[in-house]
Amino acid sequence: MKVDFVSRHGLDVDSQFCKFVEHDLVPLLHFSEEEFWKKLALIISSFSSENDDLLNARKDFQTKINLWCKKNSKSYHNHNSYHAFLKKIGYLEPPVDIFQIETENVDPEIALIAAPQLVVPVSNSRFALNASNARWGSLFDALYGSNLIPDKNLTTEQNNYDPQRGQLVIDYALNFIDKVIPIKNASHSEVNNYFVEFYNDEYVLNAILKDGGKSQLKNSQQFIGWSDEDKSQSLLFKNNNLHIKLKIDSDDPIGKESPGNICDIFLESAVTTIMDCEDSVAAVDSEDKINVYKNWLGLMLGTLTCEMQKSGKKFTRSLNKDKVFTAKNGKLLTLSGRALMLVRNVGQHMKTRMILDNNNPVSEGLLDAFITTACAFAGNKNKKEFSNSKTDSIYIVKPKIHGSREAKLFNRLLIMLEKLFKLPENTIKVGLMDEERRTSCNLMQCIKEIKHRIVFINTGFLDRTGDEIHTSMHLGAMLEKDKIKQQDWLDAYEKQNVDIGIACGFMGKAQIGKGMWAKPDELREMMEVKIDQLKSGANCAWVPSPTAATLHAIHYHYICVQTHQRKLKKEYNFYMQDLLKPPVALQRNMTFNNIQDELDNNIQGILGYVVHWVNQGIGCSKVLDINNVYLMEDRATLRISSQHIANWLLHNICTKEQVLSTFYKMAEYVDGQNLAIESYRKLVTNNQNSYAFEAACELVFQGCNRANGYTEEVLHKYRILEKNKNI
């Protein structure tokens, strides 16, 4: 596909991107087109060379580690020797004394509220709007539509509604509010009706019981307001800094049969959401990237819309308006109707040909930082009905950082952006992804470099494992993936992240986050296990859907995370010895069937994800695993699976012929899993391999040579070939 370039301040700029900037973005800013390009050119000239130097430093570290691993593959368990080597080459940085982060002007959604967090591809306007609007979720809908309510022995559906299932939903929901907003000497299931009355200079909530008695909340401070809407009324409560809204309507089909005429319960759910430009997005050219930026700009301005169809009816989805209540003192109380939005930029290893500097592609990370900041700045400057940050802060999540030097570079980049946009110091806040081995080994040092602007740290098992495998690639054969999860390093990684966050003063200022629940349809299991992330001291965790967010919000009502964090506040533990234990198999005791099962599982997952990425440009999707269970997949999944097989090939656990044979076998299996998708194109047809199949093979067979095991270069190459084929 031919790309037209135009010259702008010494840069060759893709004409489509230039049009977006000059027609859509610059008119919303306080400077001219010429000034815009001058500022961007300054960013590129100021940081490109140093960015490249840091990428070369990554390669240099890996080269030295590869040599050490080859020499010490029989004695890698000598941790003292390994640690000494890593310190000598600078991979392990000098320790720093414990300090306190100094971030200010942080929105309460991040600083004070523990709650679920959604991560969605900002390239998909429907997903982005749904995620932002998931600030409030219907508990009745979430329960009714999930497997948390069993399917056994239910009555026949009547008008698409099963009254027996509906009753189970109501029972579950009433049991929940009995626990978190209890009334005195009774259950909410015993309430006939609720009413608000003025008493002692404020409004109070009363409950009339079915036996004629009267009751009130055990903690009257939990009732904070109400609103009247036509024939219905909403009662507003607060627990653990999260809001609960009971909707009361005696004319509603559900409300007239439900205790207290409760027709629904709404929970404050996804209080924050990350609009992703990275792992869940397939943006390979200017067309894709402009769509990413346009959607982010629309979210910041509050103008993004999406045409949708549901139950045969077409409608336009837009951002939810704020919710207005009458407070107990009689004054108006306004609550946000939307999640606080953060934007995740790409990693600094990414390059883009959307802008050429002396015919060289520029760092996409620099461009992301500049454009996403400009869009957020435009939103703050042009506030109307919608506003993202109450403090006018801009929130950027930075992934794929390797060590404190890279964190320091990113901080300096943001300092310059603030000067160029004439923003107060530290307006741009940073969420640091703790997902690379060199960062988790030097996490406190990284945080110190951004201590005036950091707002979260977050662990990510899949990327962290992918980097673990690649870093120790030449040390020996890795354990099976399920066994890797059971190793000491992973437990140390998760605990250290929390301990460092608490020790560095994140409480009341920043989030300590945990990773994604990857089974979007297995929400009963999620409710059984994900509560442990709160008990570990994390005050936010990722969920795959608005429904999952509403259900996971229940956990944050049952557990006050701040109380757990205060209990965990102690002298920082030393986890480095366990953290640097590579998950290498001490003995090769795997049978042929064990090996083949692992290859089947890995390769089926790789193909199932890559076929949608390359053929359709879908960066994040529900993908059937080998057992036909849907998993939420993104590039992190691909990274660990491809690196795992590359490692086994390197250490002769399997052969290239065996792996290639498995690719063809699993291609047929994946094609069969996708037969019902009309737009699906097969991986292999008439003995001809598709670009998707070729991409998957290259990721594995060239996996040892991919920098840090990253997958973007291969995916982008084949996606562009696929797009050009269809022109």
Residues 177, 190 contacting (CB under 8 angstroms): no
Measured N-to-C along each axis, helices 364-381 and 404-420 cross at an angle, to the nearest 10 degrees, of 40
Comparing CA positions, the residue from 441, 444, 281 lying closest to residue 350 is: 281
Q: Which residue in this structure is represented by tokens 């005050």?
A: 539
Residues 670, 607 contacting (CB under 8 angstroms): yes
Can you spell out the DSSP letters for 176-194? HHHHHS-BTTB-GGGEEEE
- State the DSSP code for 91: S
The residue annotated as part of the active site, out of 8, 58, 338, 344, is 344
State the Cα–Cα distance between residues 456 and 474, nearest whole angstrom.
Answer: 33
The yes-or-no answer on residue 276 being catalytic is: no
State the Cα–Cα distance between residues 40 and 354, nearest whole angstrom.
Answer: 13
In degrees to the nearest 10, what's the CA dihedral of 543, 547, 553, 555?
Answer: -80
Q: Which residue in this structure is represented by tokens 């059984």?
A: 528
Token representation of residue 477:
């054969």
Residues 6+ apart with CB under 8 A from 528: none
Token representation of residue 344:
């995740």
The residue annotated as part of the active site, out of 634, 635, 639, 719, is 634
What letter represents residue 435's amino acid? E
Comparing CA positions, the residue from 229, 249, 248 lying closest to residue 237 is: 248
Beta bridge partners of 632: 622
Residues 79, 580 contacting (CB under 8 angstroms): yes
State the Cα–Cα distance between residues 559 and 571, nearest whole angstrom.
Answer: 23
Residues 461, 471 contacting (CB under 8 angstroms): no
State the Cα–Cα distance between residues 475 and 504, nearest whole angstrom.
Answer: 34
The yes-or-no answer on residue 634 being catalytic is: yes
Count of Cβ atoms closer than 10 Å to residue 385 Cβ: 9
DSSP-based three-state secondary structure for 575:
coil
Phi-psi region of 511 (alpha: psi -120 to 50; beta: other; left: phi over 0): beta
Beta bridge partners of 430: 396, 454
State the Cα–Cα distance between residues 591 and 78, nearest whole angstrom.
Answer: 28
State the Cα–Cα distance between residues 703 and 654, nearest whole angstrom.
Answer: 15
Q: What's the per-residue H, E or C state across 256-311? A: CCCHHHEEEEEEECCCEEEEECCCCCCCCCHHHHHHHHHHHHHHHHCCCCEEEEEC
Q: Which residue in this structure is represented by tokens 């991409």?
A: 695
Scored b (16 or more CB within 10 A) or e, 501-539 reads: bbbbbbbebbbbbbbbbbbbbbbeebbeebbebbebbbb
Token representation of residue 349:
């290893």
Pair type for strands 428-434 and 454-459 = parallel
Q: Which residue in this structure is represented by tokens 């397939």?
A: 282
Q: What's the per-residue H, E or C state across 477-512? A: CECCHHHHCCCHHHHHHHHHHHHHHHHCCCCCCCEE
Residues 6+ apart with CB under 8 A from 196: 203, 204, 205, 206, 226, 235
Q: How far, rounded to the nearest angstrom, does the alpha carbon of residue 275 sit from its chain's CA centroid? A: 8
Can you spell out the DSSP letters for 673-691? HTTT-TT---SEETTEE-H
Residues with catalytic function: 344, 634
